[in-house]
Structure 1
Amino acid sequence: MERPGKLFGLWALLLCVGGGAAYPETQPPVTNLSVSVENLCTVIWTWNPPEGASPNCSLRYITHFSNKQDKKIAPETHRSMEVPLNEKICLQVGSQCDSNESENPSILVEKCTLPPIGDPESAVTEIQCIWHNLNYMKCTWLPGRNTSSDTNYTLFYWHSSLRKIHKCENFSREGEHIGCSFALTMLEDFSFEQYNVQIMVTDKEKKIRPFFHIVHLASHVKPDPPRIKSLFFHNGYLHVQWENPPKFLSRCLSYQVEVNNSQPVTHSIFSVDEDKCQNSEFGENMEGTICFMVPGILPDTLNTVRIRAKTNKLCYEDDKLWSNWSQAMHIGENAKTTLYITMLFILPVIVAAAIIILLLYLKRLKIIIFPPIPDPGKIFKEMFGDQNDDTLHWKRYDIYEKQTKEETDVVVLIENLKKASQ
């Protein structure tokens, strides 16, 4: 009976020396698998090595989520992940003696997180967070279906530069959308692409279901509009110079230059792929300035120029959020400007003259249509007011007239008598 045992031991020893260590086909499962949540959305799974594992086995642990995605094989007895906790999340862990994926792992042990408590229809929807000019982040959302209009929302946020979870205080409402803004300026070395911001939106009364959201800082960045420094014509080109919004490198932004021409009325947008400030035509000391030459612009027409910017994929993940258009700047002359200025001065003179003529004409027309009515008081005053004087006047007039008639008669009588005597 001893001989077969010795032969088996010798065979096992030969396998270890010649062909490597001999391991069982499968290892025992891990023990004490547990899950915990830190901050807002950081989930941590921990476990202990399997009991009864071979001492000659270099243990490796294969982990993946229940959907068999994000598979990982590592010697650590823990795994963490930032993930929104809006649903149940399960991690499966198994042990094996090699990092080779073809190695048969032990029986998989699974541990899940609990989903949020509350009606799923009460959670907020369409949440979106935008990092404005690397200064502040604004998150907006729509209320859930099963919520009242007077719900008092609360937004909590956390990122790796904070020691504790913070609450957002600057709430706003734009139509149906509700929003909240908080400062986010802690990353000045452009290493933010490795960081996330964890968001949770709930209500003060805890009647709605909390909603979790994770914002990757390399995405959803909206810069401020650039500032136009100067416009000038040279060698048949319109030269445009502008300054970047603060905190952005030139290589991290893409631009569009919009030119509106007054005559003929045209609207053109040019994409800027290369900085032309190295050209000697732009002069020296152009640090921090971006330059572009727009072709086909006539200097004898009025041109309106605006610029906007967005992040590109050299530095960021998202390249869809354009800034607002910059303040417009004008250059050139409008062919109708002189006529407009002339009319601006002539029209008031013409209008004033027309008003004066019209007033005079209306006054004359009023006199013709509505002649002045005599004052009856004056008429009666002339007739009756000075009767004593007038009576004496008339009396004197009658006596004089009467005396004149009598004298005339006498003269005529004497002359007749003389003729008769002769």
Structure 2
Amino acid sequence: MCRFWDLTLMICFSVSVMFVGGDNTSELPPPKNLTFIWETPFRLSLTWEKPEDLDHSCRVNYTVNVYNSQDCSGEIETRKVQTLGCKLNISNENGLCISVLTNPENCEQRDNSQPTNISIAPPSVSCIHELVVNLCFRLPRYESVKKCKPDETMKTRGCIIHDEYLKDTMNIFYLFNGTYNGTYVINTFTDKRPVEYVKLNKPQLTIHRDGQKLLFQANGSDLDEFAKECYSYLYTISKCNKNETAELKKCQHEVQYDPACKYRARVQVIFSHNCGAGRSDPSDEVEYGEDNDPKLPALLAVIIIPLIVSFCLLVSLVLLRRHKDIIFPKIPEPSLLFKDMLINNIRTPEELQIRKAINGLSYGRLIGSGYLVQGLGNIGPGVLLSCRD
């Protein structure tokens, strides 16, 4: 029984110690006297003092939060430092809010401090189109500021920045200064990294046939400036007036060839989101093949074959009419045939002989009341045959 009470007392004591220890945790004091100064139009220098009432044995560091607005909201940039100050490459386009808080490193039972904030107002004029300005820029790898020379070919006021390190630059700082209603103004701003605005040259598209496949090949003069995985290719192909699109990671695209269709194609090079953003203009349209209706042969057969048959039939009728006597000779009427046979049967042998001779003559002429027959008959030339009634 005693052991049970002893165990209960030990548990209660341990729980009490845990709660008492938790109540002793306190926050560190915040930094003092946070100030700033612009060393250059792009570089902000922050300084502060060590917090008060900080034990010598307590080691701390500091967290600096930078907001691109005056009310400490929106996008935030955070960094940790060991020193009592830091320098920031930043623009003041929309104003800034900066907070610094103290963090414990080896301080027992101490939490982060409350932040110390400072607000920086933007310039009174920030619209570049209302200013008579000089536009300059600075890359992070350079300390100096370069003046941007205007490009007369551009529709709006601006310039083209040429630098071999642009594609590796994370951001560019811009500076403009000038006068507005007789007052001198200055401001800075920054934007996304240059590879977020890549403008690729317009590619060229070629089409050629390989057996039963049709190959589409995209070529460009600037497709080797970045790694191959940074590019994708958007093909727009019209096959028999039906559009199809395909986005590929390779510059060559192949489809099954249909000889009955005409192909029209374009290609656009897109800078992949893994490397940045941007794209080219679509290439010129390229055509291949001719449109052929698959039902056309059957339709032609239905139309042409009857025409050919009709023409042949018409020619046959004309030829048949022209040579009908040869193709179909005249046959004597049966009544005349039987009558002639009857007459031949009642003639005498002498008449038959004379008839045969007459049939063998070449010509004859009429003399008086009879026929003068000349030729090579059996009765000889110059024989006068009398004509019977």
- TM-score class, shorter: 0.5 to 0.7
Q: Aligned partners of 1:31, 1:179: CA distance in 2, in Å? A: 44
Give the AA of the match of 2:241.
Answer: V
Deviation of the 1:186 alpha carbon: 1.9
What SS does the aligned partner of 1:306 have? strand
Conserved? CA contact 1:158–1:197, under 8 Å: yes
How many aligned positions are there? Answer: 261
Match of 1:259 among 237, 251, 273: 237
What SS does the aligned partner of 1:219 have? helix
Describe the superposition over 1:294-352 as per-residue Cα deviations: whole angstroms up to 9, x where unpaired. Answer: 34x53465534321111112222x3xx321112444433577xxxxxxxxxxxxxxxxx
Conserved? CA contact 1:74–1:99, under 8 Å: no
Partner of 2:72: 67
Describe the superposition over 1:16-54 as per-residue Cα deviations: whole angstroms up to 9, x where unpaired. Answer: xxxx9xx99344443453323355444332334335521
Identity of aligned residues (%): 16
What SS does the aligned partner of 1:251 have? helix
1:61/1:196 Cα in 2 relative to 1: closer, same or farther (>3 Å)?
same
1:60/1:105 Cα in 2 relative to 1: closer, same or farther (>3 Å)?
same
Conserved? CA contact 1:157–1:198, under 8 Å: yes
Q: Aligned partners of 1:253, 1:99: CA distance in 2, in Å? A: 50
Partner of 1:293: 254
Instruction: Answer yes or no: is 1:179 the counterpart of 2:158.
Output: yes
Match of 1:226 among 200, 203, 209: 203
Partner of 1:324: 281
Conserved? CA contact 2:34–2:118, under 8 Å: yes
Describe the superposition over 1:152-207 as per-residue Cα deviations: whole angstroms up to 9, x where unpaired. Answer: 432211112333111111234766x43322213325xx644xx2111234446666
Give the AA of the match of 1:258.
Answer: T
* Pairing of 1:22-421 with structure 2 (within 5 A): 25-38=26-39, 40-65=41-66, 67=72, 69-70=76-77, 73-98=80-105, 103-106=110-113, 108-118=115-125, 123-124=127-128, 143=129, 147=130, 152-172=132-152, 177-187=156-166, 191-192=168-169, 195-203=170-178, 210=187, 212-228=189-205, 230-244=206-220, 245-260=223-238, 264-273=240-249, 275=250, 290-295=251-256, 297-299=257-259, 302-316=262-276, 318=277, 321-333=278-290
Conserved? CA contact 2:92–2:187, under 8 Å: no
Partner of 1:392: none
1:222/1:200 Cα in 2 relative to 1: closer, same or farther (>3 Å)?
same
Conserved? CA contact 2:58–2:106, under 8 Å: no
Normalised by the length of structure 2, the TM-score is 0.55
Deviation of the 1:256 alpha carbon: 0.8
Deviation of the 1:247 alpha carbon: 0.2
Q: Aligned partners of 2:219, 2:153: CA distance in 1, in Å? A: 32
Conserved? CA contact 2:175–2:186, under 8 Å: no
Deviation of the 1:212 alpha carbon: 1.9
Conserved? CA contact 1:170–1:180, under 8 Å: yes
What SS does the aligned partner of 2:229 have? helix
Q: Aligned partners of 1:298, 1:203: CA distance in 2, in Å? A: 64
Q: Aligned partners of 2:143, 2:88: CA distance in 1, in Å? A: 18
Q: Aligned partners of 1:305, 1:33: CA distance in 2, in Å? A: 63
Q: Which consecutive unaligned segments of at least 5 residues does structure 1 have?
A: 1-19, 125-142, 276-289, 336-422
1:60/1:301 Cα in 2 relative to 1: closer, same or farther (>3 Å)?
same
Conserved? CA contact 1:173–1:179, under 8 Å: no
Q: Aligned partners of 2:43, 2:211: CA distance in 1, in Å? A: 59
Deviation of the 1:266 alpha carbon: 3.9
Give the AA of the match of 1:294.
Answer: V
Which protein is bigger by CA-based radius of gyration?
Answer: 2
Conserved? CA contact 2:32–2:49, under 8 Å: yes
